[in-house]
Amino acid sequence: MLMCKEATRLMSLKLDRKLTFQERVSLRLHLTMCHACRQCDQQFTLLHKIKNRLSLEPPQEENRK
């Protein structure tokens, strides 16, 4: 069983790279049991989506004439 600290580490890790099968399973298991970390995971995912959307946005065109 993962500690919350370890689970949080995996959550942020999975935004940078694919987790190994074992890491995914451990995190999944922890999230099933731990409400706090489930909420934390949602926040991480949301933040990641926002970040992705911002970096995908085309540059502002105000400099173009």
Q: Where do contacts with Zn ion occur on this chain (CB under 5 A)? A: 4, 7, 34, 37
Q: Minimum distance between the CB of residue 23 and Zn ion, rounded to whole angstroms?
A: 15
Which CB, 42 or 52, lies closer to Zn ion?
42
Which CB, 10 or 37, lies closer to Zn ion?
37
In the structure encoding, which two tokens stand for residue 6, read together? Answer: 């370890």
Q: How far is CA 47 from CA 53, 60, 62, in A?
A: 10, 22, 27
Identity at 30, one-letter amino acid code: H
Q: Based on C-alpha coordinates, what's the Rg of the chain?
A: 16
Which CB, 6 or 48, lies closer to Zn ion?
6
